[in-house]
Structure 1
């Protein structure tokens, strides 16, 4: 592996990595179902070949938490994590980090979170939880906080901490150690470990995939704030600030944190476009293809949007009399308008959707304005189903709602099957909610996984089918048409609909 640092400007550098086992350009993939053959060759993002027996799909929050703890305990040289935040009660995770650092002198930890969520006022914010770890291991623990530049000017001073996430968050979810990585949509908080349903896909022994995820975190950390001990530096630099227990420093004083758009676009584009410029001569037809998709609309990076448009167009054109089945789910079903149009206009594709019921929405029962959010999603669902009716797609587009007593719903993604009753041959998984927020203001990382037609992949396709069946088992036909949406909620959605 040959690494080369590309310096953009300021103090940011992007690592280019040349790795022959990664696929960059595949004009065709004869191992895939004919319905999706040729699709991957249209995508320019890095492509990773992974053995299907090294992929495990988890189904329960408790499995997700146990896997994270097990990974931390067996880490040897590096732990790399990206999440929205670390929950205020997660002292066991912090203790696991501390134990691993004490036992493994060579171990380094790199973590990336959202700044606004991680520094909310309160006794146990993410920053406060991790500050002692940074103080104890200043050269081995590296914690960065991304801040969306969309909230700036007078609004940055006026918007209360509880609502400043409406202008964008760091939303990518990566949990990795050494050469293994788990991709999810779940955050590091108690509910995600117990009674909040999500998706979790673990990859073992994946040096190249893990290195990509690590480089992705390092790239964004280059234009993110740093967590430091309040006594580790002298006076704070421009745009940095102090709390009694920690300091948040800005690493590139010559660039204002509100003006990182060009920096971020260049860095993320370079990561995707230059990660692997060579193609292996032979690709094992039994291996699964993984394609990372970055969606960062505020930085003009729209991999997910481009890939899904290509996928719908390809499926609609290649169905040739067969009707592929698309399953889609989102805990926050405010489906991005472009994706709505793709569903409504793809007359050769059947579509089943699972959304959160109001009671399974994480904001259900919240006080103040946020308590109206589930009702706001009901309004968006009503509008979508009205559009389905106008497009005369009622027989081929179905909406269900997920409900499980005492649980909330946070799963998201897409599955493609060649027909109803057949196991999926493709899935999209990761952090995206497939809504307007994900498209325009949050920063997301998701993956397309294309599974070949081979006996070696039968088990993985069954895992995907089981995952989908488990989610649908708690769903029932949508009842939102009969739910009342108050006038105040309609006004709220008209004002902030793109933030839902």
Structure 2
């Protein structure tokens, strides 16, 4: 049919025929998505990257994540680019792997971006102290930047203690890339994330443009972040601010313009990317303090679209820190045509369980947020269609986050959201996040990938049980703490 249609235009110019062929390919790609998401896909305005399904690997275990990361570093030839909240104090093996890679490949460059407040906590082995010797040895090849949220400023910036200054926002994007391959996760670079802290891990090859986008995303934010410099003779490390004309507390407009420009540039570069047999990735930046809300816009559009479908879809949603953003709560509760299964960490699986001081109340604070959410479910009359479960596995903590969309509970997902977002108020307003929405077309070639996504959901739900938070006691002081921080635990 395709070739017959082209023959009707036999007298048209070559350019015109090629243009028409491209249009048909775009139509074909749109048709190949499930009817439930076809129109939604056509409305997304973010950049888009198409990748063959056999170039995507979904891992399920922290040990796989770490092993994969080490192998990526080992085979890196020209560049390593990493974004994470921090590098753990015990990760000397990973730092050594960076040093070995630099020795093997004289042309190799390393670019890293972390959160300043988390990376400079007092102690003998902070992120900045671990990486300073590497910068000292390879000052022209190792580039380390530290983002600082501008929301903490004024007198508070001087007096808020190190363990609490992250309450005003962090750099939260998780990207692990070498050359033209990239792994997207919600995991940080710390021992627990490599052993017994459950997260999600998706590895992509086969699209150099996607890897370049991730590299450029890191490079863009590094432009308004602190730099790790050669240490002076009187210090273990030095950091400097690269923009003398702009105070680090006042980068809001600079950051907004830079991130918007990145998205606009790649939207133009990828506008023609389309392949009916390949999956499509849309990068979603959520940086509320800089007025960039791609994730929020996309999820609102998705739920509104699903609620008007003739069929009744299933949304699986998970977050290790379940304080679902109010707008997302409303989407779940008001989308009466959508069933929703939610998995959250039990108090024992919360990373703050057993912490000293105020942070030890955080698991209890999340119980309180869950109680409020489930009361809202009851008021909305959605008890039968909105289900909350809690994840618990002896000796493990839970950090997975994301969304999966399926036609029914017996069908594998056709869409997933993955990356750094916790889908909570912090992620929406004060942390800076990068996530991806992956849409999988209907074809025999994508069935193995869809089964992998189904297995991913099943593996997370395997350690889940019905929510027990309704019977848990929440102290008055914890309720006051939640009220004080506005749910941004």
Counterpart of 1:305 (choices 285, 296, 306) is 296
Q: Deviations over 1:197-236 (max 9, x none)?
A: 000000023201000000000000000000011239xxxx
Q: Which moved more, 1:223-232 or 1:400-409?
A: 223-232
The residue that corresponds to 2:10 in the other structure is none
1:133 and 2:124 matched: no
Task: Specify the SS of the correspondent of 2:114.
Answer: strand
Q: How many residues align?
A: 466
Within 2, Cα distance between the matches of 1:334 and 1:212? 30
The residue that corresponds to 1:161 in the other structure is 162
Within 1, Cα distance between the matches of 2:262 and 2:41? 19
1:292 and 2:293 matched: no
Counterpart of 1:459 (choices 439, 445, 448) is 448
The residue that corresponds to 1:191 in the other structure is 192
Within 2, Cα distance between the matches of 1:379 and 1:357? 12
The residue that corresponds to 2:484 in the other structure is 495
Alpha carbons of structure 1 residues 278 and 149: separation in structure 2 relative to 1, 3 Å: closer
The residue that corresponds to 2:351 in the other structure is 362
Deviation at 1:165, TM superposition (A): 0.2
Q: Deviations over 1:113-148 (max 9, x none)?
A: 000000000000000000000000000000000000
Give 1:118-129 correspondences, 5 Å limit.
118-129=119-130
Within 2, Cα distance between the matches of 1:365 and 1:444? 27
Within 2, Cα distance between the matches of 1:80 and 1:475? 35
Structure 2 unaligned blocks of 5 or more: 1-21
Give 1:7-406 correspondences, 5 Å limit.
29-231=30-232, 244-277=235-268, 283-317=274-308, 319-320=309-310, 322-406=311-395
Deviation at 1:40, TM superposition (A): 1.7
The residue that corresponds to 1:411 in the other structure is 400
Contact 2:86 2:114 (C-alpha < 8 Å) held by counterparts = yes
Task: Specify the SS of the correspondent of 1:39.
Answer: helix
Alpha carbons of structure 1 residues 490 and 77: separation in structure 2 relative to 1, 3 Å: same
Deviation at 1:363, TM superposition (A): 0.2
Q: Which moved more, 1:243-252 or 1:398-407?
A: 243-252
- Structure with greater Cα Rg: 2
Within 1, Cα distance between the matches of 2:206 and 2:327? 37
Deviation at 1:26, TM superposition (A): 6.5
1:468 and 2:457 matched: yes
Contact 2:48 2:271 (C-alpha < 8 Å) held by counterparts = no
Within 2, Cα distance between the matches of 1:445 and 1:365? 29
Within 2, Cα distance between the matches of 1:93 and 1:462? 32
Contact 2:33 2:442 (C-alpha < 8 Å) held by counterparts = yes
Contact 1:167 1:499 (C-alpha < 8 Å) held by counterparts = no
Deviation at 1:420, TM superposition (A): 1.2
Within 2, Cα distance between the matches of 1:446 and 1:221? 18
Counterpart of 2:415 (choices 426, 433, 444) is 426
Alpha carbons of structure 1 residues 426 and 78: separation in structure 2 relative to 1, 3 Å: same
Q: Deviations over 1:236-258 (max 9, x none)?
A: xxxxxxx8201010000110000
Contact 1:151 1:164 (C-alpha < 8 Å) held by counterparts = yes
Within 1, Cα distance between the matches of 2:453 and 2:167? 33
Q: Which moved more, 1:489-498 or 1:280-289?
A: 280-289
Within 2, Cα distance between the matches of 1:389 and 1:34? 31
Counterpart of 1:443 (choices 432, 436, 441) is 432
Contact 2:323 2:370 (C-alpha < 8 Å) held by counterparts = yes
Deviation at 1:282, TM superposition (A): 7.5
Within 2, Cα distance between the matches of 1:402 and 1:279? 38
Within 2, Cα distance between the matches of 1:144 and 1:448? 27
Deviation at 1:279, TM superposition (A): 5.9
Within 1, Cα distance between the matches of 2:445 and 2:147? 40
Contact 2:307 2:335 (C-alpha < 8 Å) held by counterparts = yes
The residue that corresponds to 1:239 in the other structure is none
Deviation at 1:173, TM superposition (A): 0.1
Task: Specify the SS of the correspondent of 1:375.
Answer: helix
Structure 1 unaligned blocks of 5 or more: 1-21, 233-242
Within 2, Cα distance between the matches of 1:481 and 1:270? 46
TM-score (norm. length: structure 1): 0.91
Within 2, Cα distance between the matches of 1:282 and 1:431? 25
Q: Which structure dedicates a bigger proportion of its chain to helix?
A: 2
Contact 2:173 2:434 (C-alpha < 8 Å) held by counterparts = yes
